[in-house]
């Protein structure tokens, strides 16, 4: 009654056999890629490049082609200096920085406001960040020569000041720290009477 049944079963078996083999190979590859198959590791070829053992941010990558040379990561002028004077025109502003304190002056406030700042050194300069009236106060100075058009003078640093959400351009230079003698004010002596 079913004379063709054995032939159909044989054909069905022949068709599924290659699919089973593909499935077995795919599963083996999947297991190997996700680390479930603990087959023997292949021997490493020392001439073949391999990925670094640590992040290049932690340790520089050396290729062995040339001797390692140090790469400067900070601009020497701004890295060593801690006192700066920055100024800008139209509108006029002036900032004197010494250590962790900055004095910000404008035509409206010529005596200036003291602002506590933090120093951040980067590859082309230095930045001082503080808070003035609840908003960021940022003085950024890069080691790019700056021309003051009003004074017709050149400065070694280009400055960018951000105050109250407004950014203004200017020039800057390294300042000499105030000496202890110059910082002291003479004490008034009472008049003898």
pLDDT, tens only, 77-120: 778 888 999 999 888 999 999 989 999 999 999 999 999 999 98
Separation of alpha carbons 32 and 136, rounded Å = 53
- Indicate the number of domains in the chain: 2
23 and 103, same structural domain? no
Residue 81 lies in a domain: yes
95 and 2, same structural domain? no
Residue 40 lies in a domain: no
pTM: 0.55
Handedness of CA 35, 39, 43, 48 (dihedral sign): negative
Q: Could you list the residue range(s) of the whole structural domain that residue 171 is in?
A: 76-177
Separation of alpha carbons 117 and 133, rounded Å = 14
Range list of H helices, 3-156? 5-33, 76-80
84 and 22, same structural domain? no
Residue 131 lies in a domain: yes
82 and 171, same structural domain? yes
Other C-beta atoms within 10 Å of 40: how many?
A: 5
pLDDT band with cut points at 50, 70 and 90 for residue 151: confident
132 and 80, same structural domain? yes
80 and 22, same structural domain? no
Q: What is the mean pLDDT of residues 128-152?
A: 90
Give residue 41's pLDDT.
55
Residue 56 lies in a domain: no
Residue 19 has pLDDT above 80, yes or no: no
157 and 83, same structural domain? yes
166 and 84, same structural domain? yes
Task: Output 152 or 115, whichever has higher pLDDT.
Answer: 115
């Amino acid at each position: 009654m079913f004379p063709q049944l054995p032939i159909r079963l044989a054909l069905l078996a022949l068709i599924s056999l290659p699919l089973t083999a593909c499935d077995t190979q795919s599963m083996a590859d999947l297991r190997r890629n996700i680390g479930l198959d603990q087959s023997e590791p292949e021997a490493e070829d020392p001439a073949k490049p391999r990925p670094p053992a640590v992040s290049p941010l932690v340790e520089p990558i050396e290729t062995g082609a040339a001797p390692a040379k140090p790469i400067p990561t900070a601009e020497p002028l701004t890295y060593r200096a801690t006192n700066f004077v920055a100024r800008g025109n139209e509108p006029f502003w002036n900032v004197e920085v010494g250590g962790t304190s900055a004095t910000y002056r404008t035509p409206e406030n010529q005596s200036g406001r003291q602002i506590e700042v933090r120093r951040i050194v980067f590859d082309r300069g230095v930045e001082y960040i503080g808070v003035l009236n609840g908003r960021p106060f940022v003085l950024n100075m890069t080691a790019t020569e700056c021309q003051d058009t009003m004074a017709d003078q050149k400065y070694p640093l280009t400055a960018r000041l951000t105050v109250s959400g407004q950014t203004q351009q200017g020039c800057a230079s390294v300042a000499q720290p105030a000496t202890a003698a110059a910082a002291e004010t003479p004490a008034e002596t009472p008049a003898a009477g």
